[in-house]
Amino acid sequence: MPVPVVILPARFFSSSSCAPGSAVSSSAAEHEEPPKSELIFLGTGTSEGVPRVSCLTDPSKTCPVCTKAAEPGNRNRRRNTSILLRHVTPSRTSNILIDAGKYALLLALPVASPLVLDALREIDAVIITHSHADAIGGLDCLRDWTNNVQPSIPIYVAPRDYEVMKMTHHYLVDTSTVIPGAAVSTLQFNIMKEEPFTVQDLEVIPLPVWHGQGYRSLGFRFGDICYISDVSDIPDETYKLLEDCQLLILDALRPDRSSSTHFGLPRALEEVRKIKPKRTLFTGMMHLMDHEKVNDDLARLMETEGLDVQLSYDGLSIPVRL
Ligand SMILES: [Zn+2]
Ligand SMILES: [Zn+2]
């Protein structure tokens, strides 16, 4: 069965520590339990992905990033933004996916590491940031799981995005319209409000942000990790939810400026200076962001300002405490 019995509180690992008075010669940090959960970047790019097909088919072949991205294993190769949380408790490991974009899943699999393949064997929940195609376009592909691996998948979605799904994926919301014998994804829709909720023993705090004028998207906080993949502005009331963030994952579309719907790198860095996370990884990069070049530039900010900021890349896996 895909839905396990709830055994332990979500913050089990982060609340654990060494016994008082033990090994006084070493720092407390050395005695904390090592992180056991894991955060895996399944996709870190824009909706059309990197490389862009139009750059590869351009006879002049003038796009250096897409040319590099076409090489297997190159870190400029980017699929739709998505992360996978492997939430480990003593009783089980839960695989929680944030967004199911057009090809975060399908294109990830042929080149995925054994770690990612193992992590994607069963999907325990999918949490949706918003209803653009690069966040929900892969809902249809989940039928491979519900046909062949598990009976159903819980989807957590805001009311406004559920209304969109009723149109874009009407046959997944109302399965009575499916032709008998046809196989579609079997999804359980859970409507989430903009307040904390629990998924698979893990507390999830929605982080409401603007993703273009008048259009809401959600980031999410898991323990000390804050994930905001699609943002053009952060409302005042959301900043207090970002306090004491250890790892911030933040939208940074392009190196020079913001767009109407996404932070560019200069604005994203402004926000990092304001939010003050311990470490930041950027996501949602388009083909103007050269992984090595931008990361070299960002590394200098560690020397000059003490800012720990880097670009993420598809397949990057980070041990985390949830
Ligand atoms: Zn390009
Ligand atoms: Zn979007």
Q: What is the pLDDT of residue 24?
A: 33
pLDDT tens by residue, 7-44: 222 332 233 333 333 333 344 445 666 668 999 999 99
Antiparallel, parallel or unpaired: β 187-191 and 197-199? unpaired
15 part of a folded domain: no
Q: Which ligand is nearest to the CA of 130?
A: 2
CB 200 within 8 A of CB 89: no
Give CA–CA dist 268/177, Å, rounded.
Answer: 44
At residue 3, the pLDDT reads 31
State the Cα torsion 101-104-109-111 to the nearest 10°: 160
Q: Which ligand ends up closest to the CA of 232?
A: 2
Q: In this structure, is residue 283 part of a structural domain? A: yes
* Residue 168 alpha carbon to ligand 1 centre in Å: 29
Is residue 49 one of the residues assigned to a domain? yes
Q: Distance from the CA of 105 to the center of ligand 1, in angstroms?
A: 22
Q: Give the pLDDT score at 181.
A: 86
115 part of a folded domain? yes
Q: In this structure, is residue 26 part of a structural domain?
A: no
Instruction: For residue 18, tell me if it sits in a domain.
Output: no
280 contacts 286 by C-beta, under 8 angstroms: no
Give me ligand 2 centre to Cα 217, in Å: 8
Q: What is the CATH number of the domain that holds 223?
A: 3.60.15.10
**pLDDT in the model for residue 111:** 58
Domain that holds residue 150: 34-196+204-312
Compute the distance from residue 228 Cα to the ligand 2 centre, in Å.
Answer: 11
pLDDT for res 72: 86
Is residue 288 included in any domain, yes or no? yes
Measured from the alpha carbon of residue 80, the closest ligand is: 2
Using the mean position of ligand 1's atoms as its centre, give its distance from the Cα of residue 50 in Å. Answer: 7
Q: How far does the chain reach from its first CA to its final CA, in angstroms?
A: 24
User: Taking Cα atoms as reference points, which of 231, 235, 233 lies closest to residue 219?
Assistant: 231
Of 6, 1, 7, 17, the C-alpha closest to 321 is 17
pLDDT under 70: residue ranges of the chain: 1-35, 103-112
pLDDT tens digits, 43-97: 999 999 999 999 999 999 899 999 999 998 899 999 999 999 999 999 999 999 9
| Residue 263 alpha carbon to ligand 2 centre in Å | 12
pLDDT at 38: 94
Asked if residue 318 belongs to a domain, the reply is no
Domain count, the chain: 1
